[in-house]
Each structure stands twice: as C-alpha cells, then as structure tokens.
Structure 1
Amino acid sequence: MAAMNGTRVSVVVFATSFLLGLLFTHWIADSLTLWKPPATDERLWMAARYYFVIAQTSIGFLYFFAFVAIGGGFTILWCLREGEAGNLMFDGGSIFLYASALAVYMHTVLPNLNANFVPISEFAKEIPESLKRSTLELASSHLVCSVALTGVLALQAGRWWSENNGDPDD
C-alpha cells in the first residue's frame, strides 16, 4: 500500500511541477509587467507580443497540457478517497489549491488569451488601454496559479514529512 501511495504522490508532484514549469516560462513577460515598475508601454508591448505567440500554440500541445492537468487532479482525488486523516488534510488542501489554479487558468487566462491577443500592430506608440489591462490581468493570473500550485507542492511535502516522521511509537 505504501508503494502505491508513493506512486500517486509522485504523479501529483510531477503534474504540479510540470504545470508550474509551464507557468514559469511566462516569467519573461510577467516580470516585465508585475515586478519591474513602472509598467511602461515598451514593456507592455513586449509582454503583449509574447502572449500573442503563446495564444498561437498548437492544439496538440494544449491537449497534452490538459491531459497532465487532469491526470494530476484525478490522482489527488484518488489519494483523497482513502479517507485517512492525513489524506483529508493534505490532499483536501491540495485539491482545493489545484482546482483553484485550474479554475483561474480556464476561466481567466485562456479566455483572455483567446479574446485579446490577436495580431498586434507594433506601429502604435501607446499601448491601447484594453490591451494594457489584459496584459496585466494575464500576468496576475499566472501569479495566482503559480502560488496555488506551489501550495500543492508544499502540502504534498508536508504529507510526506508527516508520514515519514510521525508518531515514534509506530
């Protein structure tokens, strides 16, 4: 049984780390908008061009990313099904954070990419207010997803630690 738990936790950690890696690749654009004030028109244009490229991603890649995300969520639910106190606490928190990250991504990031990042005229000096807002919202949503998925990793590490350093009488 312990080997099966280790495999499940490994799948959760793999899926979460993979999704975090995808979000971290956006750092090149997100850092221009969130972490380097002020968010000048030049930086926002650079970020918007990056997001335009991302919006053109092949559907095959999107299906693969969705497969990994669904697999990770399913595995957390599978771990939660055992009903042990540790599972309820760590995996319950993990599924909440994981589902929150997926919800933000599906309901904020994807619609924003599809609706606002169409071919962009680079000749305009000022970035349109709607594109500026969309770029900042996208970067903020990436940050929310990253923090939630980092919380999943922290909870899974806490679960591992509690299982391996539990009651000395065991």
Structure 2
Amino acid sequence: MAPKNSSPFATFLIVGPTCFFLGILFALFPYDYHVLWTTPTTLPSDAIPGTSPRDPYFTLQENHLKFLHASPPLISRMLHIVIGTGLLGFMMKLYKPSEANMLFDGASLVLYMCGITVYIANIVKGLRTVTAGAYGGQPLPEGESLVGKIQEGNEGDYIGREDSLRVLAASNTILALVLVGVLVLQAGQWYAQRKEAEEIEAMDKARDEKKRSGKEGVKEGKEGKKKQ
C-alpha cells in the first residue's frame, strides 16, 4: 500500500530523469578517469615519444566532446525534454505540499537546480570552448591571479587546454554527486512515509482492538446480569 501524501507517478518523473543523467555521466567516466583521477604510469603504444602520459587521454576526451557537441539537434532536444520531465515531477509533488514534501522534495529540487546550473554554466560552455578550440593559456601578468581574472570574466584567456578539460571532467563529477543526492533524498522520503504509514496502521489496529475488547466486556457484563 502506498503511503499517504505520496505521489508514485511524480516520484517516477523525478527518479527516471535522474537515473538517465547518471547513465550519461557513467558513459563519460572512462574519458574523465585518466584526465582527472589518476596519472597513467606508461604511455600507450601509439603515443608520441616524449609526451606526457596523460596527453593521449586528453586527446580522446577532446575528440569525444567534439563529437557530442556536433550531435544532431534532436539529441539536445531530447535531453532538454528529460530535464523538463524532472521539473514537472517536482511541480506535481510540491503542489499543496505536506511537511515531508517540503523537506525532502524541496531539498531535492534545490539539488536538481544546482545540477542544471552546473550543466549550463560549465558543461555547455565547456563543450563550446572545446569545439571552437578557444583555449587560453596566456601567462598571467606579474602580481595578478587567476581568481581576479575569473571575477573580471577574462579567465578564458588564461585557462589552457588541459585545465579546461579537467574543469569539464570535474563538472561531470560534481553533477553526478548532486544527482546521487537527489536519489538519496527521494529514497529517504519513501522510507519516512512508509514508516509513518506502518505506525499509523499499528495505532489504528490497537485502537480497534481496544474498542473491540471494551464492547466484549460490556456484553459479558450484560449477560452476567441476565443470569442473576
């Protein structure tokens, strides 16, 4: 039996897109692994001698990202439809919300919007940068820092190819953690509502048994009087 104040269909609209995006990020993980998480100890057999062990993996990631960005418009439209499906699920669950909805679904929506922000601000921008090859890599003037350039909006002139690709890989990791957080909150809500429903059912059963025992006691008292 579904707990009260639950909306299984709306939950499906949230969990489905979230798992879909996690699947996409899992498919990107092999390209991000050597770029972000570990340094290969040996060069691949087809690598140019004298290059860094990571260079071939930067090239693989770059080519894959270019291929993704050059995909037909239908692919991006389907992706945006799936994003909108998740938002629709949140709107359905937060319509006339209960206390549990406000806590779990509100926090889930915040994480979901953080994921959308990472997608728009980092991933989409990074894909355009990689496709155009518009890397920076200029040396910083003496006395200036990259943080100051970021505040001025000129960091693109100073972040090189490898750093740009690492930022994209890190954005994928952050997005995956955010989406896992959405799933954890939805699972927590389901567990809390299920325990609440079980407790209410136990209380109702105890109340019914108490009423039944009281009625039986009154009936036995009446029968005792009749025998007297």
Under a length normalisation based on structure 1, what TM-score does the superposition of the two structures give? 0.86
CA distance in 2 between counterparts of 1:12 and 1:3 reads 16
CA distance in 1 between counterparts of 2:55 and 2:193 reads 51
Give 2:112's aligned amino acid: Y
**Other-structure match for 1:52:** 66
Give 2:7's aligned amino acid: N
Question: For the pair shown, which has the larger CA radius of gyration, 1 or 2?
Answer: 2
1:99-138 correspondence to structure 2 within 5 Å? 99-118=113-132, 130-138=160-168
**Other-structure match for 2:29:** 27
| 2:66/2:131 contact within 8 Å kept | yes
**Other-structure match for 2:102:** 88
Distance 1:10 1:87, change over 3 A: same
Is 1:43 aligned to residue 57 of structure 2? yes
Displacement of 1:67 after TM fit? 0.4
CA distance in 2 between counterparts of 1:34 and 1:116 reads 17
Query: Match of 2:96, SS?
Result: coil
Q: What is the alpha-carbon root mean square deviation over aligned residues?
A: 2.2
**Other-structure match for 1:150:** 180
Is 1:168 aligned to residue 168 of structure 2? no
CA distance in 2 between counterparts of 1:11 and 1:169 reads 28
Segments of 4+ in structure 1 off by > 6 A? Answer: none
Displacement of 1:43 after TM fit? 1.8
Distance 1:165 1:4, change over 3 A: closer
Moved more, 106-115 or 42-51: 42-51
Give 2:126's aligned amino acid: N
Identity of aligned residues (%): 24
| 1:77/1:95 contact within 8 Å kept | no
State the structure with bigger RCO (CA 8 A, min sep 6), 1 or 2: 1
Query: Match of 1:26, SS?
Result: helix
Displacement of 1:3 after TM fit? 9.4
Displacement of 1:111 after TM fit? 1.2
Displacement of 1:154 after TM fit? 0.5
Give 1:48's aligned amino acid: E
CA distance in 1 between counterparts of 2:129 and 2:61 reads 16
Write out per-residue CA displacement over residues 39-84 of structure 1, whole angstroms, 9 at most, x where no aligned residue. 7222212211221211212110100010001110221132122221
Displacement of 1:4 after TM fit? 7.1
**Other-structure match for 2:14:** 12
| 1:52/1:117 contact within 8 Å kept | yes
| 2:66/2:127 contact within 8 Å kept | yes
Displacement of 1:149 after TM fit? 0.6
